Structure 1
Amino acid sequence: MDSIKNTKETNVKRFVSMLFLGLVSSSALANTNSDIKLEKIMSDPSWIAETPLSAKWLPDSRHVVFEQAVKDHAINKVVRLDTLSPASQKDVGLDALHTVQLSQVTYGGDNKAAYVFKGDIFVVDQNTNKVTQLTHTSATERGPQFLNNGDLGYWQGNNYFTVNLTTRVIRERFALKMAEQPSGPDGPKDLIAKEQHQLIEYVAKEHKAAQQRFEFNQQLTKQNKVANKQTFYFDKEHTVRSAEVSPSLNYAVVVTAPKVDWRGKDDLMPNYIGDDGRIKFEKVRRRVADAKPNQQSFHLLNLATGEKKQLAVSDLPDFNKDVLADVKAENAKAAGNEYESKPSPRTINLIVDWSWSQSPIQWHNNGEQVAMMFEARDNKDRWIATVDFDNGKLVTQHQLHDDAWINYTFNDFGWLPQEETLYYLSEETGYSHLYTKNLSQKPIQRTKGEFEVSNLTLTQDGNSMYFKGNINHPGEYHIYRLDLNTKNAKPVNLTGALVGENNYSLSPDEKSLLITHSTLLRPSDLYKLDVGTNKITRLTDTVSEEFKSMPWQAPQIIEVPSSHVDKPIYARLYLPKDYQSGEPRRAVIFNHGAGYLQNSHKGWSGYFREFMFHNMLAQQGYVVLDMDYRASKGYGRDWRTAIYRQMGTPETQDLVDGVEWLVKNANVDRGRIGTYGGSYGGFMTFMALFTEPDLFQAGAALRPVTDWAHYNDGYTSNILNRPEDDMIAYRRSSPLYFAEGLQKPLLINAPMIDDNVFFVDVVRLVQRLIELEKENFETAIYPVEPHGFRQPSSWLDEYRRIYKLFEDNL
């Protein structure tokens, strides 16, 4: 109980300090006797706040643009805010959207920024804010890039253009074509054709003229710079997956892959509430069980000579290692067979990082070196490689191996601008940390400790790195600056006064940070931090007075001792008043979704409806525990990979520890505890009720996974490998195989047009429960809802059922 007392005192002190800073309204102290009602908290969330969305700096480094939802309207409004005069924010009219809705922004010399708006290229002067439109076409231009010669490059389809910013002359530099390279007019192919050419002089003459014209045009494009429009040809069965041009315009790296329909012909989802009164069948993604390898091809283009070299992943170490040998042998043995391990080329492609939008191909700003990040399809290795241009070979600079799986975040990387030195994130110590590596030297670890580094931003001079990290506490995120010129430099915390969750973007002039900050009790608002003085200025205050006046209770962040690992399980705890007095209390344990997600942090939760629901339950005498079970984000590699090949087992063990803690420390009746969660949390509800039938008295599984073989490839294959290699892991991890264990009341809520967790997951489990002659389950379906509900009426119906389940059984 000391931990609860200490947490309470800390929360009070922080609340007072936030009140002083203007981060919490004094009106939050009022109306503490109000009741929290389901009808209110499940209504359209616009009553909570006009939260700034997708906030970005404009190129002048003074103004910020963001969006805000508009009640009962599908289109957000766009707001422009002057950071020197925050109260003067203005809605942006449709006629001016092209000056503020900037995508694919890039910065170059001479104080200019280039960007894309509605498929056209624009340039803005950062000093005068003058906007110039460079293209105005029905085609889609993308990828603006300032080149070292002062021109601006961009893509239109598979054609690369440059524009001289002084003369505005546009030039096509080269094109990528998925076709066989022309070799001139075809000669006679068979006996009849050969006879025709020999007998008819006109035919032979015309063929010779066509050959001469072809050869002339070939020489013209090689020798005449004005006429030189290079074309590079690739396999006609391929499509371009990525292409990046050197800023020196000497080289390009192009990645192609066979054309693949990521949706199989049988992957159809019926939509029963179509707008024409008929059933519509919508295509959906393939299941992990149906996923097939798709090896990319990597090409180095010499734009000066027209030469094309193929880069081979066989240059990478362990490219043919059988990393799943033990797993395959175990599965073969279970099937009564033997597995013989043999080296075989692995499918190795550019990495796909789910957390960032940077390219996995990074050119140095000198244009003479490039780095590429690869990942094996088996998810066990990641490589960063540079290119030997003379020999057309990949040169490995770093290899990260994980016996479980490579994290699909923490893959930021790039170049320091003044030298050929790479920077990158790696989990090799067990936590995501920053490293730098000169190409001829060993890596240097720049950050160290049991915390995670993410969201890297390098300053233009390469002297400093900004990042987001949870150094103070796993659930407390701040923005840090690290001096890269000082050996063993310590990160400097820039947002210490903003306790909670912080995200950031550095202004183009690098003098300010735009901070998106939230707390346990308040959704995100915007702040400006002066880099020179660390002065923090609040820019927006968008939380409604109605929301502030409600009697919300900030959950305590506690540490639940684990009986299985030597680290605690962090959790949010909601306590009713006087919970220690009277008879033992009812309790609910909430299981967050997404698997690799953190919810026991000190910021505003993405599960804001659940936050309000938990407050309502606490107001009615329930104790609520919201645990960051093993597999959750924020706690390092070992916590993340504890579920490898055994999803549902470590997490259920953590739930057991959570129940024990509640009984021993929070005056909870062991026989009056329920659980619920959605998506991954719904899967966990199943696993708990099916494999530990005495742990909870009731459970609600929302939009739940029941058989991982039916989930997507990108997520599932990381954790369970693939069914053809490791069916043992799928049977060990899928609730469908444990349904006979159900003993306590179960509510299953399922949206029917869910293209994430398919409705068929619930259908198959319900049929299994019927065949097992189970009577203690109910199913609610939501015909118009996708994975994330949209209709307030659906949210209300769902949570009424959850609440009733707990009231009836706890």
Structure 2
Amino acid sequence: MQKSFLLPVLLFITLGVQGQSLLSVDYIMRDPKWMGTFPSSPSWSEDGKTIYFQYNLENDPADSLYKIDLSNPGSPVKVSLKEKRSLDKGLEAFNKDNTLRIYRVKNQLWIEDLKKKKESLLMEWHEAFSSIGFMADENLISFNSSGNIYLLDRTTKAIKKTTKIVSGTKPANSSSSSKEASSFLESENLALLQVVRKRKEAQEKSRAYRDAIREVEDSFAFYTQGKNLSNLQISPDAAYATFSVFTPSSNKNTKVPDYTAASGYTEDLNARPKVGTKPSKVEIGIYDLKRDTVYYVSTSDLPGIKDLPDYVKDYPDKTWEEKEREVTLSGPYFSPDGKRAIIQVRSFDNKDRWITEVDLTTGKLKTLDRQRDEAWVAGPGIGWSFGGGTLGWLPDSKHIYFQSEATGYSHLYLLDVSTGEKKALTSGNYEVFDPFLSKDKKHWYLTTSEVDPGERHFYRMPVMGGPMEKLTSMTGDNQALLSPDEKKIAIIHSYSNQPSELFVQENKAGATPQKLTSGQSEEFKAYPWRDPQIVRFDAQDGAKVPARLYLPEPSKKNGAAVIFVHGAGYLQNVHKWWSSYFREYMFHNLLTDLGYTVLDIDYRASAGYGRDWRTGIYRHMGGKDLSDQVDGAKFLVSSHGVDADRIGIYGGSYGGFITLMALFNHPDVFKSGAALRSVTDWAHYNHGYTANILNTPEEDPIAYRRSSPIYFAEGLQGNLLIAHGMLDVNVHYQDVVRLAQRLIEFGKDNWEMAVYPVEDHGFVEPSSWTDEYKRILKLFNTTLLPE
């Protein structure tokens, strides 16, 4: 076994001797499998004795399903295809106390008594069905088939169709003239053809019999009139059905040319529209099953539905019309007894979120909670423009729960629907993630950053609020998954310089976690990966900006520095767990070995620090998020002896955008920069992300003009590397093509562009990663270090 890794380790050390580092770009940018295998996506067996997870011990092309038996834990075992298929119950649902489970096998519906471990067939349906669930009366089970809802009685096995939804347009009544013509032709035909007449008489007798035994004449039907219905569901008390009508807008998509298509021809890839698109319309219909009528939810009475945004004051010459804003609806979410329902409403400009109760008899909405943000409503558990997030009912059918940034941080709330009383279950300068109820509904389980913005821990808390009990203890990130009986916790844990491993512990505070995997390769463990310092430096507006700091050995320090700018904008990279930017992390170790000081900043707009930090870039990307980089550079000069004339900057996507803004607007601070897959003009990016931050180019051109690097290209003085994948369907290659022409027209000659013909936004090929980072290292070595 030792011989299998001896040669790579020797090569590893040899590379270090040649490059004054144990690392090289070629080495760290290989296929990540060289690092080892690390667990993900854990799940439990039904009896809680086995943990399943994605893993790769056999150098497969992709991760496979593995398992560990907790009664005899040892090396992970690859799950056979037969066992894997047996684990997949497909569509399933549970009753209120989780003692019964129903699941679908092809066109059969089965029920399992989880305590007795007994299964039985409930129904074999004649066609496909979906959306199975227990009703409030758990003797009844609902399912959807052919666009309608059915109820199955578990005792009698009787099946009743509860809705009559017909796809298409309601047929018009036949005219009297056509009836007369039909009557004349029919009577003549029947008089002439005896066999036809006898068949007609038999059909009429059969129809008369069916009419006679029909209990109720079903005269009502709802015709879809060409609309696309989705999310068809029935209330737990079987009194109402609801559905959504989605009307997509016809927005123009962009095309991304693929010059390396297998056909040998240039082929176009379909890509997203640009910012400023029209909204897709979502309506919610209510089908009253007792009154046989359908009506739609009305949003016109929502408080503030006509409110104008604050930025209109910057356009005094423009006339702004007060009108109902476009909204999108999600839900309804029925109370467990089915008597009430709530709907979440989001304004399409994403400045308002209303949580409302819907009057099921009329479709009118009553606002329970309104969250307004002049920037945009978002945050953990709140979601973005199109709904989502934490929202539901307690078992008492009286309280709803949700998350809100009302205090500046995302916290968990209860609201009494009858009285309107709202109660914060958590509070403080930290955020709450992924809360859910215990199976007995007596407790909350939730993850928070209460210990530190750079740590995540798992807690338990009484359902109506009270002290939180911290269940995890390992410093870093703890992604927790409860066993079915909630007696154990599976944890995917990682630390700053330690990739993810799988642990298990008892579900109690102070329990000792047991490590189940050890996935690092011997090659990976041979290098002493740094645990970067987490620091906070002063911003020019008084904010304390968090950052990861990599300091070289004093004997190797070369006086130069590199600032890394993470992508996505709303993302956290200053933390105590293994970074999703693991290649960049390894590159920073290489740079530090070579004597560079490296700073990785959670600038304004980064995740993990509350609403004000998140929205600090509203209407000015390249404002505080850029000044944070400038202040970071000053911090390095004043506190860590960095030469002010030898500071570089680099990053990808949003990080590439900031790099361009840094070189174009602060050439006195940044001598060199590498802008990877960067946005150059926000008017060319997508709507869902950009319109939240900058509104739309048509309504707020000021925001776009001051936020887009292409308008500042004349300011380039330092050395710029642009790198971009030509198949990028996120930030299109067109972005850097337009910027390149702009730089050419300005006569700039201190820049270069590297293009990657087979790469999308996220690079895949190790050869592309290697080429890109060799160019970045060359840029810094040749421009930041003395000759």
Equivalent residue for 1:94, pick from 81, 86, 94: 81
What secondary structure, in the 3-state scheme, does the structure 2 residue paired with 1:248 have?
A: coil
For 2:91 and 2:270, locate their aligned partners in 1 and report how far apart those are by CA, in whole Å.
29
**1:64 maps to 2:51:** yes
**1:374 maps to 2:345:** yes
For 1:47 and 1:136, locate their aligned partners in 2 and report how far apart those are by CA, in whole Å.
50
What secondary structure, in the 3-state scheme, does the structure 2 residue paired with 1:468 have?
A: strand
Q: 1:350 matched to which residue of 2?
A: 329
For 1:469 and 1:504, locate their aligned partners in 2 and report how far apart those are by CA, in whole Å.
12
Please give the per-residue CA displacement for 1:409-451, whole angstroms capped at 9, x wherever unaligned.
Answer: 4221111112410111000110001110111231011111111
Equivalent residue for 1:385, pick from 340, 352, 356: 356
Answer yes or no: is the 8 Å Cα contact 2:33–2:59 preserved in 1: no
Cα pair distance change 1:622/1:604, threshold 3 Å:
same
What is the TM-score normalised by the length of structure 2?
Answer: 0.87
For 2:528 and 2:442, locate their aligned partners in 1 and report how far apart those are by CA, in whole Å.
47
Superposed, 1:100-499 pairs within 5 Å as 100-101=87-88, 106-108=93-95, 109=97, 111-114=99-102, 126-127=114-115, 141-148=129-136, 149-156=138-145, 158-162=147-151, 173-174=162-163, 176-182=165-171, 185-187=173-175, 196=181, 202=187, 224=215, 232-236=222-226, 238-260=227-249, 264=252, 267-289=254-276, 291-319=277-305, 321-324=306-309, 326-328=310-312, 330-331=314-315, 333=316, 337-339=317-319, 341-350=320-329, 360-407=331-378, 409-411=380-382, 412-441=390-419, 442-485=421-464, 489-495=466-472, 497-499=473-475
Q: 1:354 matched to which residue of 2?
A: none
Answer yes or no: is the 8 Å Cα contact 2:308–2:322 preserved in 1: no
Deviation at 1:458, TM superposition (A): 1.2
Q: Which moved more, 1:676-685 or 1:391-400?
A: 391-400
Please give the per-residue CA displacement for 1:284-308, whole angstroms capped at 9, x wherever unaligned.
Answer: 111113x112221111122344332
Q: Which moved more, 1:458-467 or 1:97-106?
A: 97-106
Please give the per-residue CA displacement for 1:443-486, whole angstroms capped at 9, x wherever unaligned.
Answer: 01111111111211112333211111111211111111122345
Answer yes or no: is the 8 Å Cα contact 1:174–1:230 preserved in 2: no
Q: Which amino acid letter does the alignment assign opposite residue 451 of structure 2? A: N
Larger Rg: 2
Superposed, 1:633-652 pairs within 5 Å as 633-652=607-626
For 1:110 and 1:463, locate their aligned partners in 2 and report how far apart those are by CA, in whole Å.
14
What secondary structure, in the 3-state scheme, does the structure 2 residue paired with 1:652 have?
A: helix
Q: 2:5 matched to which residue of 1?
A: none
Q: Which amino acid letter does the alignment assign opposite residue 300 of structure 2? A: S
What secondary structure, in the 3-state scheme, does the structure 2 residue paired with 1:525 have?
A: strand
Superposed, 1:674-753 pairs within 5 Å as 674-753=648-727
Cα pair distance change 1:539/1:127, threshold 3 Å:
farther
Q: Which amino acid letter does the alignment assign opposite residue 454 of structure 1? A: F
What secondary structure, in the 3-state scheme, does the structure 2 residue paired with 1:296 have?
A: strand
Deviation at 1:162, TM superposition (A): 5.0
What secondary structure, in the 3-state scheme, does the structure 2 residue paired with 1:281 have?
A: strand
Equivalent residue for 1:49, pick from 23, 36, 56: 36
Equivalent residue for 2:500, pick from 524, 531, 543: 524
What secondary structure, in the 3-state scheme, does the structure 1 residue paired with 2:647 have?
A: strand
Q: 1:546 matched to which residue of 2?
A: 523
For 1:222 and 1:440, locate their aligned partners in 2 and report how far apart those are by CA, in whole Å.
45
Between the two proteins, the alignment pairs up a number of residues equal to: 746
For 2:438 and 2:764, locate their aligned partners in 1 and report how far apart those are by CA, in whole Å.
40
Deviation at 1:673, TM superposition (A): 0.8
For 2:587 and 2:477, locate their aligned partners in 1 and report how far apart those are by CA, in whole Å.
21
For 1:629 and 1:203, locate their aligned partners in 2 and report how far apart those are by CA, in whole Å.
87
Q: Which amino acid letter does the alignment assign opposite residue 400 of structure 1? A: Q
Q: Which moved more, 1:438-447 or 1:167-176?
A: 167-176
For 1:527 and 1:513, locate their aligned partners in 2 and report how far apart those are by CA, in whole Å.
8
Deviation at 1:43, TM superposition (A): 0.7
Runs of 5+ consecutive residues of structure 2 not aligned to the other structure = 1-8, 191-195, 383-389
Q: Which moved more, 1:44-53 or 1:448-457?
A: 44-53
RMSD: 3.4
Q: Which moved more, 1:653-662 or 1:245-254?
A: 245-254
What secondary structure, in the 3-state scheme, does the structure 1 residue paired with 2:661 have?
A: helix
Q: Which amino acid letter does the alignment assign opposite residue 90 of structure 1? A: V
For 2:441 and 2:288, locate their aligned partners in 1 and report how far apart those are by CA, in whole Å.
28
What secondary structure, in the 3-state scheme, does the structure 1 residue paired with 2:409 have?
A: coil
Q: 1:19 matched to which residue of 2?
A: none
**1:563 maps to 2:540:** yes
Answer yes or no: is the 8 Å Cα contact 2:648–2:670 preserved in 1: yes
Cα pair distance change 1:51/1:136, threshold 3 Å:
farther
Q: Which amino acid letter does the alignment assign opposite residue 514 of structure 2? A: T
Q: Which amino acid letter does the alignment assign opposite residue 530 of structure 1? A: E
Deviation at 1:369, TM superposition (A): 1.9
Please give the per-residue CA displacement for 1:468-512, whole angstroms capped at 9, x wherever unaligned.
Answer: 1111211111111122345xx2222111x2110122233332323
For 1:245 and 1:259, locate their aligned partners in 2 and report how far apart those are by CA, in whole Å.
25
Runs of 5+ consecutive residues of structure 1 not aligned to the other structure = 1-26, 352-359
For 2:56 and 2:188, locate their aligned partners in 1 and report how far apart those are by CA, in whole Å.
70
**1:572 maps to 2:548:** yes
Answer yes or no: is the 8 Å Cα contact 2:470–2:509 preserved in 1: no
Answer yes or no: is the 8 Å Cα contact 1:500–1:517 preserved in 2: yes
Deviation at 1:699, TM superposition (A): 0.3
For 1:69 and 1:330, locate their aligned partners in 2 and report how far apart those are by CA, in whole Å.
56
What secondary structure, in the 3-state scheme, does the structure 1 residue paired with 2:644 have?
A: strand
Answer yes or no: is the 8 Å Cα contact 2:380–2:410 preserved in 1: no
Q: Taking every aligned residue pair, what percent have the same amino acid on both sides?
A: 39
Q: Which amino acid letter does the alignment assign opposite residue 718 of structure 1? A: N
Please give the per-residue CA displacement for 1:742-762, whole angstroms capped at 9, x wherever unaligned.
Answer: 111111110111111111111
Q: Which amino acid letter does the alignment assign opposite residue 553 of structure 2? A: K
Q: Which amino acid letter does the alignment assign opposite residue 385 of structure 1? A: T
For 1:78 and 1:120, locate their aligned partners in 2 and report how far apart those are by CA, in whole Å.
27
What is the TM-score normalised by the length of structure 1?
Answer: 0.85
For 1:389 and 1:792, locate their aligned partners in 2 and report how far apart those are by CA, in whole Å.
57
Q: Which amino acid letter does the alignment assign opposite residue 252 of structure 1? A: A
Answer yes or no: is the 8 Å Cα contact 1:575–1:618 preserved in 2: yes
Q: Which amino acid letter does the alignment assign opposite residue 76 of structure 1? A: D
Deviation at 1:166, TM superposition (A): 7.2
For 2:188 and 2:362, locate their aligned partners in 1 and report how far apart those are by CA, in whole Å.
45
What secondary structure, in the 3-state scheme, does the structure 2 residue paired with 1:345 have?
A: coil
Cα pair distance change 1:604/1:246, threshold 3 Å:
same
Answer yes or no: is the 8 Å Cα contact 2:477–2:577 preserved in 1: yes
Deviation at 1:605, TM superposition (A): 0.4
Deviation at 1:716, TM superposition (A): 0.8
Cα pair distance change 1:157/1:764, threshold 3 Å:
farther
Q: 1:38 matched to which residue of 2?
A: 25
Q: Which amino acid letter does the alignment assign opposite residue 153 of structure 1? A: S
Q: Which moved more, 1:274-283 or 1:771-780?
A: 274-283
For 2:449 and 2:98, locate their aligned partners in 1 and report how far apart those are by CA, in whole Å.
37
